[in-house]
Amino acid sequence: MRSHNGMRPHDIVVLLKIISLNKGGIEKKELTNKALAESLKISPAEITHSLNRSAFAGLLEPLNKRVNRHALLDFLKHGIKYVFPDQPSKIIRGIPTAHSAKPLSDMIQSSENYVWASLKGNIKGQEITPLYDKVSEIVENDVFLYQSLALIDAIRVGRNREYMIANQELEKLILE
Same domain? For 118 and 170 the reply is: yes
40-76 as b/e: b if 16+ CB within 10 A: bebeeebbebbbebbbebebbeeeebebbbeebbebb
Same domain? For 127 and 96 the reply is: yes
Would 4 be classed as within a structural domain?
no
Query: What would the pLDDT profile of 12-63 be if each residue is shown by its tens digit?
Result: 999 999 999 988 776 666 788 999 999 999 999 999 999 999 999 999 998 8
Ranges of the chain with pLDDT below 70: 1-4, 26-29
Q: What pLDDT is recorded for position 59?
A: 97
Q: What pLDDT is recorded for position 107?
A: 93
Same domain? For 101 and 164 the reply is: yes
**φ, ψ (nearest 5 deg) of residue 39:** -70, -25
CA distance 134 to 118: 10
Same domain? For 96 and 145 the reply is: yes
Number of domains in the chain: 2
Q: What pLDDT is recorded for position 166?
A: 97
Would 3 be classed as within a structural domain?
no
Same domain? For 74 and 96 the reply is: no
Same domain? For 131 and 56 the reply is: no
Same domain? For 170 and 101 the reply is: yes
Domain around 123: 91-175
Q: Is the pTM of this model over 0.75?
A: yes
Q: What pLDDT is recorded for position 89?
A: 95
Q: What pLDDT is recorded for position 135?
A: 95
142-to-30, 111, 120, 170 alpha-carbon distances in Å: 18, 27, 16, 15
Q: What pLDDT is recorded for position 3?
A: 63
Same domain? For 96 and 168 the reply is: yes
